[in-house]
Copies of this chain bind each other. A is one copy, B any other.
Amino acid sequence: MKRATIKDVAEAAGVGVATVSRVLSGGSASASTRERVLAVAAQLDYRPSALGRNLRQRRTGGMGLLVPDLTDTFYGQLAEGVLACARAAGEPVVLGSTGDDPEQEAELIGMLLEQSVDRLIAVPCGGAHAWRPALRAGMTVVFADRVPAADGEDDDLPASLTELMLLDGAGPARSPARPLEVPSVLADDRAGVRTAVRYLTGLGHRRIAYLGGPGHGRRVDAFRAALGGRTDDELVVHADGSRDSAYAAASGLLQSRPDLTALVAGGNMLGEAAVLAARELDLRLPGDLSLVMYDDVPWAELCHPPLTVIAQPGRDLGYRAAELVLRSDVRRPKSVVLPTELIVRGSCGPRR
């Protein structure tokens, strides 16, 4: 009942194990030998054990995938993209969900290291330093959707990921002339937020708020930039990754600043919270409040009113990240930025 090994095949075919290995991995072999080996292998229902191969090559095939929360449709889409690419390549994917908690993230990275998974696609939540162990171990990591924040708690420690990579010498091409880039696949947050803000200002809105989640400093920056200095810091609030926190932040914002007339939600869970909070406070969309939400999730259309969104290509982000991590050339890491699209539905109106 136990699985046939390469040795069994070799014996049954009257050849050495090396020959079997060669035939199965496309090496040189005479036509007749190849045929015989293949036949025997098929007849024995032989499947090469990834265990043996991995140990020999000191690495696991496939890739790791770290996302904050699979309950968030956007990350579900991203994961589907990764899985699609991995399946096409016949590679396994080891999944972890971090809950946007740097500690869990660190644990999961440790687990992947222990498994000798040497390729990783991550939506990071920990700061740059959290990624040191992975980089030191020579993992090829591609960040998706976000990039680790530069955490400068200790001033004498290098803060940005790029500096870390230089330090650890990940990739031998340590030329200061061409500093290493952190490979990543991101949506074009600058354009996305700018478009949304312009749309809103075009409708006459002046007091526009931003409701942000973890790990998207670039969206906030873009928001501030799009508003051109006229930013009111009270109108920029943040939640962590949980639904509760999103609701609390949304509700707090709406109550403390009843003068705001428009809101940009930097993620679909935040948008969800905003709709709920607005309803609770009897604010009508778009009459009392205009809302633009990140992520074109299917239910955006079912909402009342249908939500105007900044669509990100979640699935593509995942697929491209997987491509990158598989065909990664460590010497010349590439980064990809994918476009977003403003989809106008019914949640925005002229300033009342």
The interface of chain A, by Cβ under 8 A from chain B, is 1, 3, 47-52, 54-55, 58, 60, 65, 69-73, 76-77, 79-80, 83-84, 87, 90, 92-97, 104, 107-108, 110-116, 136-138, 169, 243, 272, 275-276, 297-299, 301-304
Contact = CB atoms under 8 A, between A and B. Distances in A.
A301 B92 CA distance: 37
A115 B96 contact: no
B93 A47 contact: no
A93 B95 contact: yes
Contact of A73 (B50, B71, B301): B71
Contacts of A302: 272, 275-276, 299, 302-304
Q: How many copies does the complex hold?
A: 2
B60 A70 contact: no
Contact of A114 (B47, B114, B137, B297): B47
B71 A116 contact: no
Nearest to A97: B83
A22 to B, nearest CB: 19
A298 to B, nearest CB: 6
Residue of A51, A87, A93, A304 ringed by the most chain B CB atoms within 10 A = A51
Contacts of A58: 51
A58 to B, nearest CB: 7
Nearest to A69: B80
B116 A51 contact: yes
Contacts of A83: 70, 95-97
Given A80-B69, A83-B70, A92 B90 contact: no
Given A1-B136, A80-B70, A114 B303 contact: no
Contacts of A47: 110, 113-114
Contacts of A96: 83, 87, 93
A84 to B, nearest CB: 8
A3 B139 CA distance: 12
A317 to B, nearest CB: 14
A114 B94 CA distance: 15
A137 B94 contact: no
A94 B97 contact: no
